[in-house]
Amino acid sequence: MSETIFTKIINKEIPAEVLYEDELALAFNDISPQAPIHFLVIPKKPIATVNDLEPDDKALLGHLYWVAAHIAKEKGFAEQGYRAVMNCNEDGGQTVYHIHLHVLAGKPLGWPPYQEKLKSI
């Protein structure tokens, strides 16, 4: 797959507010937060979309969720709650083609997320 902005963040070629890093994953604040707390957890391995996951990536995906929960506990919002989602392709709203877990917290989050759109149809 072609290189994305997230590869540059992993390689420290462009700055990011890093919250967590290990040999498999990196977590950093989203540049355009959609909630009081909004960070991304990404694998260091470049995988374009959820559709491109291989059987060998299953543990890696679990690790990304573990990182999200670890940060949530460390920052003290785990009990209050949060949303951890991955967007896939155009209809999913994906803009960066290197899979990433959005972690949103710090306020009650609406559900379902498409409610506003449906109301305006």
CB atoms within 10 A of CB 80: 11
Q: Contact letters (x/-) for ligand 5GP, 13-32, by CB under 6 A?
A: ---x-----------xxxxx
Q: How far apart are CA 45 and CA 52, in angstroms?
A: 12
Tokens representing residue 8 in the block: 């540059």
Q: How far apart are CA 91 and CA 66, in angstroms?
A: 27
Sole window of 49-57, 61-69, 73-81, 86-94 interacting with ligand 5GP (rule: CB under 6 A): 86-94
CB 67 within 8 A of CB 41: yes
CB 98 within 8 A of CB 47: yes
> Is 1 a residue that touches ligand 5GP (CB under 6 A)?
no
Q: Contact letters (x/-) for ligand 5GP, 34-63, by CB under 6 A?
A: ------x-----------------------
Q: How far is the CB of 107 from ligand 5GP (least distance, A)?
A: 17
Q: Quick one: 28 or 82, whose CB is closer to ligand 5GP? A: 28
| 100 annotated active-site | yes
Tokens representing residue 78 in the block: 């785990």
Tokens representing residue 83 in the block: 């949303």
Catalytic site residues? 100
| Binding positions for ligand 5GP, rule: CB under 6 A | 5, 16, 28-32, 40, 87, 93-96
